[in-house]
């Protein structure tokens, strides 16, 4: 079945440690996104990528990094510079870029919960 796979489901980070969250999609979608959700709050955009080898900062990119070496993969690294990393991280993808294919929604993976040890 086509979909988005995030791993791990739960992750614990020690002080000063970088951790990487995996996101893989087999939907042949061009665009991929990373969001952070804190308890009782909405989704906030961290980074997004419309094509391979290109990505853009979202609203809260500080302390995070991404890469897009393959169309299917968009890993997120939470660096030690992110002082409050505890949150629910959601990866999403959508078809089409730059206004093409209207009404194409985002599809989400089932998320990674990150906590500090």
Partner 1 sequence: RKEVEQDPGPFNVPEGATVAFNCTYSNSASQSFFWYRQDCRKEPKLLMSVYSSGNEDGRFTAQLNRASQYISLLIRDSKLSDSATYLCVVKRTSNTGNQFYFGTGTSLTVIP
Binding site for partner 1 (CB under 8 A): 31, 33, 41-43, 45, 48, 50, 56, 88, 90, 92, 94, 96-99, 102-111
Closest to partner 1 by CB, 16 vs 42, is 42
Taking the complex as a whole, the smallest distance from the CB of residue 109 to partner 1 amounts, in Å, to 6
Taking the complex as a whole, the smallest distance from the CB of residue 40 to partner 1 amounts, in Å, to 9
Closest to partner 1 by CB, 13 vs 107, is 107
Instruction: Answer whether 23's CB lies under 8 Å from 75's CB.
Output: yes
Distances in whole angstroms, Cα of residue 3 to Cα of each of 23, 64, 107, 113 = 11, 24, 8, 19
Question: For residue 91, which of 38, 51, 54, 37 has the smallest C-alpha distance?
Answer: 37
Instruction: Answer whether 75's CB lies under 8 Å from 15's CB.
Output: no
Closest to partner 1 by CB, 17 vs 38, is 38
């Amino acid at each position: 079945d086509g979909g988005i796979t995030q791993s791990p489901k739960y992750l614990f980070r020690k002080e000063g440690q970088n951790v990487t969250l995996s996101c893989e999609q087999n939907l042949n979608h061009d665009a991929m996104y990373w969001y952070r959700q804190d308890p009782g709050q909405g989704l906030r955009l961290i980074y997004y990528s419309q094509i391979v080898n290109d990505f853009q900062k979202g609203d809260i990119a500080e302390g995070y990094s991404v890469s897009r070496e393959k169309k299917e993969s968009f890993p997120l690294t939470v660096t030690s510079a992110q002082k409050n990393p505890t949150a629910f991280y959601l990866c999403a993808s959508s078809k089409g870029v730059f206004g093409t294919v209207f009404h194409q929604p985002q599809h989400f993976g089932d998320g990674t919960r990150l906590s500090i040890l």
